[in-house]
C-alpha cells in the first residue's frame, strides 16, 4: 500500500519532466477515444450549440490572471463558479442539457469564472506556476477573497448592472461564503446566490470518506515533502495515464466511474453514463493546488467552516490567535438559495441543512431528487430534476 502511494506520488512528481511526451500521447489518445464534444474546446462547444463565447482576462488583487468566459444575452447576468478539479468547461459539455448553455438558451447573460490554477487560469503577473511554489499557495479561501471578487466587479463594470445573480457548485459555494463573510460589501453586489451542493460542513460522513479524509494529512504531508503543489494538471503525465485507462469502454466505466467517482460523490448511472466518459475526459480534471484539498480536509477534521489552519505559531502570526477563525456565516446577507442532492454522498443533505440554519437570508431550500454531487453540473438528466427549480428562482430575481 505504502509503496503504491509513493509510486503514485512519484508519477505526479515526474509530471513536468514528462510534459512533451505526455502531450503528444494525449493527443493520440484523444484522437482515438474522445467523442466530438470531448475534443471541442469551450468556444467551439458554445458555438456548436447556437451561441457565441467571449473570453476576458481578469486580474486579481494578488496578481493572478483569470480567464472569464461570457455568453452574451439580453436578460440579467448570471455568474457561474465551478467545483474542485473542474473548470468552466463542465458547464457546457452537455450542450442544451448543460446549465451554461441552458441559461443562454433562455436569454440570460452568462459569465463563467475559471478559478486560479485551472487549465485556463494558470497565469500570474509575477509568479511562474512551473517554478514558483508561491503560485500554488491558495485554497477556496483565496478563490473567494480574490478571484470571485474580481469576477463580480468585472461583470458589474462590463454590464453596468448594480447587482448580479450567481450560482456556485460545491467549492464555488465555499468560495462565495468565504468572500461574503469577510468582504461584506460583496453582499450588496449579488441579488441572489444559488448554492448547488455547497461544501461547508462535513459531519457524519460515510465510512469511505472518513477513511480517505483520515489518510489525508499523511498523504498531503508526503506530497508536500516531495514538493508537489499542483495536482491534476491538464496534460500532465498522471492525468494522461488516467485518461488512457478511463476511455477504454465498459471496463473503464466500472473502474473509473463505478469504482472511483460514484463511491465518493454518489451513485447514479443514469446521470453519468458510459458514453459520457468520452466527453467529460476531454475537459476534466482541471488543475488545483494541494492546499485546496488540505483546507477541505481541515474542515472535515476540525468540524468547522473556518479559515486555513497553519498550526499554532502560524495562526498566531496570521490571525493573532492560536486557532484559525471561522467564516462568519451570519454576515452573508445576500439572498441565498440552497440545493442539496438526494443521492449526494459528499455534500450531505443533513449538512446543507446545518448551513441553512447558520445563514441569515435563505430564501429557498430544496432537496433535488435523483441527484449526486456531480449530477448538479454534468448529469444528462439535470434538465429534468434541477433546471426547473433554478429557472423559477432566477426568474423571480430577473
Task: Note the residues at the interface with ligand NAG (CB under 6 A).
Answer: 41-44, 55
Q: Are 148 and 169 in contact (CB under 8 A)?
A: no
Residue closer to ligand NAG, measured from CB, 39 or 224: 39
Residue closer to ligand NAG, measured from CB, 67 or 290: 67
**Residues in contact with 160: Cβ distance below 8 Å, sequence separation at least 6, in sequence order:** none
Place of cell 480534471: 285
Residue closer to ligand NAG, measured from CB, 50 or 249: 50
The least distance separating ligand NAG from the CB of residue 119, rounded to whole angstroms, comes to: 9
The least distance separating ligand NAG from the CB of residue 21, rounded to whole angstroms, comes to: 23
Helices 237-246 + 2-13 axis angle, to 10:
110
Alpha-carbon distance values, 32 to 35, 112, 267, 281, 358 (Å): 9, 30, 28, 13, 50
The least distance separating ligand NAG from the CB of residue 166, rounded to whole angstroms, comes to: 21
The least distance separating ligand NAG from the CB of residue 66, rounded to whole angstroms, comes to: 13
Kind of pairing, strands 190-196 and 336-341?
parallel
Residue closer to ligand NAG, measured from CB, 48 or 331: 48
Enumerate the H helices of 63-110 as residue ranges: 99-105
Task: Residue 52: count other Cβ atoms within 10 Å of its Cβ.
Answer: 11
Residue closer to ligand NAG, measured from CB, 69 or 385: 69
Residue closer to ligand NAG, measured from CB, 41 or 323: 41
Instruction: Report the alpha-carbon angle 124-128-132, nearest 5.
Output: 120
The least distance separating ligand NAG from the CB of residue 67, rounded to whole angstroms, comes to: 7
Residue closer to ligand NAG, measured from CB, 111 or 186: 111
HEC string for 4-30: HHHHHHHHHHCCCCCHHHHHHHHHHHH
Helix (H) or strand (E) holding 266: none
The least distance separating ligand NAG from the CB of residue 44, rounded to whole angstroms, comes to: 5
Q: How far apart are CA 243 and CA 234, in angstroms?
A: 10
The least distance separating ligand NAG from the CB of residue 63, rounded to whole angstroms, comes to: 22
Q: How far apart are CA 250 and CA 192, in angstroms?
A: 41
Instruction: Evaluate the omega torsion of the peptide bond into residue 285 and state whether it is cis, within 30 degrees of 0.
Output: yes
Amino acid at each position: 500500500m505504502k509503496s503504491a502511494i509513493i509510486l503514485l506520488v512519484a508519477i505526479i512528481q515526474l509530471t513536468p519532466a514528462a510534459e512533451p511526451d505526455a502531450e503528444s500521447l494525449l493527443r493520440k489518445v484523444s484522437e482515438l477515444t474522445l467523442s466530438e464534444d470531448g475534443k471541442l474546446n469551450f468556444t467551439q462547444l458554445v458555438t456548436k450549440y447556437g451561441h457565441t463565447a467571449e473570453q476576458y482576462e481578469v486580474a486579481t488583487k494578488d496578481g493572478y490572471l483569470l480567464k472569464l468566459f461570457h455568453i452574451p444575452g439580453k436578460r440579467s447576468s448570471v455568474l457561474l463558479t465551478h467545483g474542485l478539479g473542474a473548470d468552466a468547461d463542465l458547464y457546457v459539455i452537455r450542450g442544451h442539457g448543460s446549465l451554461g448553455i441552458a441559461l443562454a438558451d433562455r436569454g440570460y447573460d452568462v459569465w463563467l469564472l475559471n478559478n486560479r490554477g485551472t487549465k485556463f487560469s494558470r497565469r500570474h503577473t509575477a509568479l511562474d506556476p512551473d517554478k514558483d511554489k508561491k503560485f500554488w499557495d491558495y485554497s477556496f479561501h483565496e478563490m473567494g477573497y480574490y478571484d470571485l471578487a474580481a469576477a463580480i466587479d468585472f461583470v458589474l463594470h462590463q454590464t453596468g448592472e448594480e447587482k448580479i445573480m450567481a450560482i456556485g457548485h460545491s467549492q464555488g459555494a465555499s468560495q462565495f461564503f468565504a468572500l461574503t463573510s469577510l468582504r461584506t460589501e460583496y453582499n450588496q453586489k449579488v441579488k441572489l446566490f444559488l448554492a448547488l451542493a455547497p461544501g461547508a460542513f462535513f459531519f457524519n460522513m460515510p465510512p469511505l470518506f472518513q477513511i480517505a479524509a483520515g489518510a489525508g494529512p499523511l498523504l498531503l504531508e508526503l506530497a508536500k515533502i516531495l514538493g508537489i503543489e499542483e495536482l491534476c494538471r491538464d496534460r500532465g503525465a498522471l492525468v494522461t495515464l488516467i485518461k488512457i485507462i478511463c476511455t477504454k469502454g465498459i471496463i473503464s466505466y466500472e473502474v473509473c466511474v463505478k469504482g472511483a467517482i460514484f463511491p465518493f460523490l454518489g451513485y447514479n448511472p443514469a446521470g453519468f453514463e458510459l458514453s459520457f466518459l468520452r466527453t467529460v475526459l476531454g475537459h476534466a480534471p482541471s488543475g488545483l493546488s494541494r492546499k485546496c484539498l488540505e483546507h477541505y480536509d481541515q474542515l472535515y477534521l476540525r468540524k468547522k467552516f473556518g479559515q486555513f489552519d497553519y498550526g499554532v505559531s502560524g495562526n498566531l502570526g496570521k490571525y493573532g490567535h492560536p486557532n484559525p477563525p471561522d467564516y462568519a456565516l451570519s454576515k452573508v446577507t445576500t439572498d441565498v438559495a440552497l440545493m442539496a442532492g438526494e443521492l449526494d454522498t459528499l455534500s450531505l443533505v443533513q449538512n446543507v441543512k446545518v448551513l441553512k440554519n447558520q445563514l441569515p437570508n435563505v430564501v429557498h431550500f430544496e432537496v433535488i431528487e435523483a441527484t449526486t454531487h456531480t449530477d448538479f453540473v454534468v448529469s444528462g438528466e439535470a434538465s429534468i430534476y434541477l433546471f426547473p427549480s433554478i429557472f423559477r428562482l432566477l426568474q423571480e430575481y430577473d
